[in-house]
Structure 1
């Protein structure tokens, strides 16, 4: 890392020093006017139905991001992120251990505060259930949003249980948080109600045999000019690219295709984003944490490119 990069990211050090924040960003909760985007961690996995461990996801992603800090201009972008976007790392939110209600209330409160201040929020999870309180916060600020969802699972299981990371997209439209007609899911490769499913689906087989450009065209045609919430479950990627997750499913898309898609979403009215389900304990050589850190960085560059 150059001296210039140290200044841009707010912390001195090389790849192996000061890696306790995402990309070496300043650790801050200052939502002043000069801040554009906020990275927030939610270390929660009590709604997991498969293998637990995603509570360590935010830390794993931050640690892996140290491998991305040396490149001043992330390829293939032609600008430095910090030249266009001032980003802070908000740290992890804290809640009473084992208290899912407290987690939900805290996420809604903190996310609402960040969004109300006009900042783009990128949340690192944690299991995917966290997206439900994040959508509640987004609804407070933007009304009903379109959901752009990357996953192996539709996560709209009809389940009246209070906490389940496979049912938040059943509850979200029921609560009026998202517009089902303008919502789309990418990479699905598990069973769902094919005849009565509320969202557009580009399944993994279709996504793997079509180009990123084709996928982006379908996304744009579906969401239109609606405010969009982008939610990326790391298990959208094939386990070859993301083994460290709770419910891996063979046959997913590649990390390269996912990045190509994200890079092309700058025309959308994206109001908030998340990156969920990284479970470092099942990883090898930080493959999944690095994929999560890289996808999160592409999301920030995609937002910066609008400026």
Structure 2
């Protein structure tokens, strides 16, 4: 148990003070929400997630019996962005991420994932497998005429060869979507596990489907907090009813150890619409569960 009360710990992720890049795992915030198409406010998420994460420092994860805080984590603070400029911000985020090792990114809206995938794919020299939790497929070619936005991230990621669609699985999908948009992804080999399928299945069965899709590929986790039902995560920009319960998401994540993970992000937390830190704590717990997969 922490020697200092959780509320009095430093403001970094898991109560860490400000660190430097070069640790085994680097945590960085990305306070960006220019790509949102509904409610803004995700720029405030990194601070909220960090604050809520102080609830997770009292010991081991009781599922994996690992303490993520003991892994060697450095919270380097927030990436710089180009205020008011989406393309320039993505270029700047990509440059900063390019020098990072194993990055855990706290968004920010989902647009930032495109920059993170560009940096990681180019550093590894090839496409990644992708586990994508979300209410939305995010494969629209544009959002209301804006080519770069949070709903077009994975259209561009597939088109640019950053991810292998045959090694990509989307979990929690349930929002309204044009049939042509849905079929564009499945025609390229993307596996879609809807929220209803998760409800009718089990975390263990969903995790096995994910593992079968990812296989031995280097893999990336992108977790949009609106994969969770608004009852569990009200503070998000584009909520959709019928989503995953927090226990389902955590149960799936806890069963994804042993995959060749290379990085992750948790995005779309919108603190102005949160209540009692429910959404921020859920997001912090997603990153904590991910880090709990490592020895």
The 8 Å contact of residues 42 and 92 in structure 1, kept in 2 or not, is answered as yes
Tell me if 1:109 matches 2:95.
Answer: yes
Return the TM-score normalized by structure 1: 0.89
Tell me if 1:80 matches 2:80.
Answer: no
Residue 52 of structure 1 corresponds to 40
Which deviates more from structure 2 when the two are superposed, residues 266-275 or residues 96-105?
96-105
- Equivalences for 1:72-221 in 2 at 5 Å? 72-83=59-70, 85-114=71-100, 119-142=101-124, 143-159=126-142, 161-190=146-175, 191-193=177-179, 194-197=182-185, 198=188, 199-221=190-212
Structure 1 residue 162: deviation in Å? 3.3
Partner SS state of residue 46, structure 1: coil
Tell me if 1:299 matches 2:290.
Answer: yes
Partner SS state of residue 257, structure 2: coil
Return the TM-score normalized by structure 2: 0.93
Partner SS state of residue 77, structure 1: coil
The 8 Å contact of residues 30 and 107 in structure 2, kept in 1 or not, is answered as yes
Tell me if 1:40 matches 2:31.
Answer: no
CA pair 230-294 structure 1, distance change in 2 beyond 3 A: same
Partner SS state of residue 292, structure 2: helix
Residue 255 of structure 2 corresponds to 264
Structure 1 residue 77: deviation in Å? 3.1
Partner SS state of residue 196, structure 1: helix
Structure 1 residue 205: deviation in Å? 0.4
Q: State how far apart, in whole Å, the 2-side matches of 1:144 and 1:96 are.
A: 27
Q: State how far apart, in whole Å, the 2-side matches of 1:223 and 1:234 are.
A: 21
Equivalenced residues, count = 286
Q: State how far apart, in whole Å, the 1-side matches of 2:254 and 2:83 are.
A: 37
The 8 Å contact of residues 19 and 62 in structure 1, kept in 2 or not, is answered as no
- Equivalences for 1:227-242 in 2 at 5 Å? 227-242=218-233
Structure 1 residue 192: deviation in Å? 4.4
Q: State how far apart, in whole Å, the 1-side matches of 2:119 and 2:225 are.
A: 22
Question: RMSD over aligned Cα, in angstroms?
Answer: 1.5
The 8 Å contact of residues 154 and 188 in structure 1, kept in 2 or not, is answered as yes
Structure 1 residue 103: deviation in Å? 1.7
Residue 234 of structure 2 corresponds to 243
Q: State how far apart, in whole Å, the 2-side matches of 1:125 and 1:237 are.
A: 16
Q: State how far apart, in whole Å, the 1-side matches of 2:226 and 2:173 are.
A: 10
